[in-house]
Structure 1
Amino acid sequence: MRLVPVNTLRPGLELGEDIYDQSAIKLLRKGYVLTPTNIESLQNTHIFSIYIKDQYCFDDTIPYTSKARDMAVIIKDLIEITNIISAGNGNSRLLQRVIEIVSQIIEVLGTQYYSSKIEYEACKVPMHGFEGSTLYIAMMSCLLGIKMNLNRTSLIDLFLGILLRDIAVLSPNIHLNPNDFKMHPLRGYLYLKQNYSLPYPVLQIILQHQELYNGSGYPYALKGDKICVGARIQTIIEHFYQITEEYLNLNRLTSEHGMCWIKPVEESINNNIKYLDPQILEVFMG
């Protein structure tokens, strides 16, 4: 299978995997041969790219994000519950449900452990708003965590920390003055510490997610290894996400160069390398 942008599709291509929308409704089945009508419909959706099978496919490995039905259902539930918590209506039961869902996602991601290569994919379906980009960054961060041999508990902590990192921006219970924006990691940390029983590593990721490796971040200008591993991981993945999304939104991907965002990502990372942990970055790029 190979991943191609929907704006480069042509009639006669065979689908490599089922296609689902954000509500986990199947749009087209695996093996279906695309028609002009199908292609036009796909190009009018919020789907960026799909898996196809053709003579140029040399690898039958199924990346975790191709498990569309499983992931779509799980993510839909997680977004709904996270929004309830962000709105200030959460409780310990809902938080436990979030942990259970995150554990399911980690299990799906964990199948990549047995692959020869862990792939970081540009987002195929844009999940709108804070929760969309945050969920995608959380999943990609956990893939990197798997590559770094983090244990299951650490992966769950990593996902939860990223999922809740911007609660001070989202929650109506936290009144954030625009002039105090750089304090939102601290405000979110204090709110969650006071209202929920979250593990210490989760709270540290929330507190430190805006810190940068060279000490130019906030709120405490922590530097190097003073920043927790989870926060250092998510900084790299967030940078990757922003660059790849920029290229996807500009429709610069082509069928002949389906991975053409790799060079811009490498260039951007090199230009911003002082902000990123070099050892984790080496694992990411390897």
Structure 2
Amino acid sequence: MRLLPIEFAKPGDFLAKTIFDNDGRILLREGVALTDFYLAMIKRLQICSIYINDEYNEAEIEDVIKPELRQHAIKAIKEAFYSFEKYSLYSTNTNIDEKKVSKEKRVYFESIGSIAKKIIDEIISKKNVMINLVDIKSMDNYTYQHSVNVAVLSLVLGVQLQLNQNELYTLCIGALLHDIGKTLIPKQIILKPGPLTDEEYKTVKEHTTKGYDFLKGCLEIPAPARIVALQHHEKINGRGYPDNIKNKSINKFARIVAIADVYDALTSDRPYSKAMCPNDAVEYIFSHGDTQFDYEMVKVFSKAVVPYPPGTLVKLSTGDIGVVMAVFPNFALRPQVKIIKKGINSSSNEVGTTVSLVSQLDIVIRNIEFAV
């Protein structure tokens, strides 16, 4: 299967990953043949990319966690965030029942803790977990889907960094709740379809302190997890926010979440920007190691991501177009590629030839293709 911007999908393509609506219900099951009606329905949900099976590849790519667990986690985060948003709207109401609010918050945090344990169990049960897939998100559900995906990405990096079980739990809770402060920011700013004004950007940046203030009295949340909400936008060079701290002064879990947060944001379609291809997102993160991110963590993360998953169509430096057939551990940027179309001036490989870029060092991938 391969990831495709919705505008490149056509009737007759087969859906390779089930699509869920904004309430977590199955909208279209994997395997269904796409029609004009289905494509229009997907666009109305503001889903900008989908996975398909076509004549180039039908191989399945396994997600890091099961789809059912992912949807369960998204639903739990969505319900919790909705509830927290409600609390903030009525925080000035002197008649509010503080004990009831405190009890409800405890129930939601316990639910999130239960979800975190299930995600951790699933990830650590697998050996050599690699990040093969970009999670498909709708614009309306972006914040909740993003929170779950950042948790998954953070855990994959945490496992690679050999964190223990308790550390992984704290990391997962921090990642799931890193953007909780956005429930306290006006929605018209969070969902604005264009560039933010300086004043709006200043307001958005407040989500770190607002989120931390919301969590700091919650004893159900480990203290380092609360710090993640505050520090996940700090930068190694001290030019982040809210406190301009640098290097190891930034909480370890916040440094991990910062990488996962940016990677998932870059590879997601958002109201104000189109998704970046995974290879470009990895290059962006690598180029900002030692300025924005912890460089040692970046090196580990880059080895855990597969920028060109099997099924990806790529254009080679020879001008040939091929489909990625296999990825080699520690050489994710140099996969095995099957040529499906010769370049105009290519004299190297015939159609049907399989090329290992690990051994043919004179050939590189120029870019990802969506149509042949």
TM-score range, shorter chain: 0.7 to 0.9
Structure 1 residue 102: Cα displacement: 2.4
Structure 1 residue 149: Cα displacement: 3.3
Equivalent residue number for residue 156 of structure 2: 143
Equivalent residue number for residue 75 of structure 2: 76
Q: 1:207-222 alignment to 2 at 5 Å?
A: 207-222=230-245
* Greater strand fraction, Structure 1 or Structure 2: 2
Instruction: Report the secondary structure of 1:215's partner residue.
Output: coil
Instruction: Report the secondary structure of 1:62's partner residue.
Output: coil
**Contact 1:82-1:98 within 8 A present in 2 as well:** no
Equivalent residue number for residue 26 of structure 1: 26
**Contact 1:22-1:72 within 8 A present in 2 as well:** no
Distance 1:244 1:226, change over 3 A: same
Q: Distance in 1 between matches of 2:21 and 2:4?
A: 17
TM-score (norm 1): 0.77
Gaps of at least 5 residues in structure 2 are 88-100, 186-199, 304-372
Q: Distance in 1 between matches of 2:209 and 2:52?
A: 45
Aligned partner letter, 1:274? T
Distance 1:11 1:143, change over 3 A: same
Structure 1 residue 12: Cα displacement: 2.0
Q: Distance in 1 between matches of 2:105 and 2:273?
A: 41
**Contact 1:215-1:223 within 8 A present in 2 as well:** yes
One of 261, 265, 280 as aligned partner of 1:263? 280
Distance 1:139 1:195, change over 3 A: same
TM-score (norm 2): 0.61
Choose between structure 1 and 2 for higher RCO, CA contacts under 8 A separated by at least 6 residues.
1
**Contact 1:87-1:171 within 8 A present in 2 as well:** no
Structure 1 residue 36: Cα displacement: 2.9
Instruction: Report the secondary structure of 1:32's partner residue.
Output: coil
Equivalent residue number for residue 60 of structure 1: 60
- Is residue 2:96 matched to residue 1:97? no
One of 157, 166, 171 as aligned partner of 2:170? 157
Structure 1 residue 13: Cα displacement: 1.8
**Contact 1:214-1:275 within 8 A present in 2 as well:** yes
Q: Distance in 1 between matches of 2:17 and 2:182?
A: 37
Distance 1:148 1:127, change over 3 A: farther
Distance 1:85 1:35, change over 3 A: closer
Q: Distance in 1 between matches of 2:203 and 2:24?
A: 39
**Structure exhibiting the larger radius of gyration computed from Cα positions:** 2
Would you say how many aligned residue pairs link Structure 1 and Structure 2? 273
Structure 1 residue 136: Cα displacement: 3.4
**Contact 1:4-1:50 within 8 A present in 2 as well:** yes
Give deviations 1:179-221, integer Å, cap 9, x for gaps.
Answer: 8987764564454333433223213323322321112234443
